[in-house]
Amino acid sequence: MIEKQKKIAIRPLRLDDLEEVMAIEPTAFGQHHWSRHSFVQELNKPEGLYFVACNSDTKQLLGYSGFWIIGQEGHITTLAVHEQYRRKYIGEQLLVNNILAARQCGALWLTLEVRASNEVAQQLYSKYGFKIINVRPHYYQDNLEDALILWSENISTAEFNILLDAKISELAQKEQQLASLSC
């Protein structure tokens, strides 16, 4: 049986979301994930913006993301989707939301670190023009895996906006296709 795609709403992350976030965090990031206290600190930082993707009907939290604004840079600090809802474009919706929100805040570029082994995330970021610019050797504490440092193109240029518009259109079509699937 194929589950019908749920309507997704993206809104700011609130303190009362943290119980659901903490249920996703270890499955997404392993043993050395952020603590509840880390999220509370992040929500209190003026440079931090954090969001959740929720099922519009049930209000279940499906994923979350966030970034810092540092000058003209948006640094994506986290993006995770509940393991039951992966491969349903929720992470991509959160990424698009981050790009649009960072641009609204005056960011010209986006950056992030991603595990060298996380090819799925790398492919997602690559679709939106992120490129590997460097490596942080032994960055992750759990297994000393390298982190790839990714940077976007300038998100204020006409070229980037053409790419973003095309990707948003493709994303809407994919969501429509998923929504039309039923038993």
Any idea what the Cα angle at residue 104 is, between residues 46 and 101, rounded to 5°?
Answer: 70
Let me know: does 53 contact 64? Beta carbons within 8 Å.
yes
Verify whether residue 83 is a known catalytic residue.
no
Q: What is the DSSP string of 43-95?
A: HT-TTEEEEEEEETTT--EEEEEEEEEETTEEEEEEEEE-GGGTTSSHHHHHH
Instruction: Give 108: exposed, middle or buried? Use CB within 10 Å, 0-12, 13-18, 19+.
Output: middle
Of residues 89, 113, 128, 175, which has the active-site annotation? 113
What SS3 state is found at 123?
Answer: helix
The single residue of 50, 85, 125, 128 carrying the catalytic annotation is: 125
Is residue 125 part of the annotated active site? The answer reads yes
Q: Rounded to whole angstroms, how far apart are CA atoms 141 and 40?
A: 22
129-137 contacts, C-beta under 8 A, 24 or more apart: 129/153, 129/160, 129/163
Tell me which residues are annotated as active site.
Answer: 113, 125
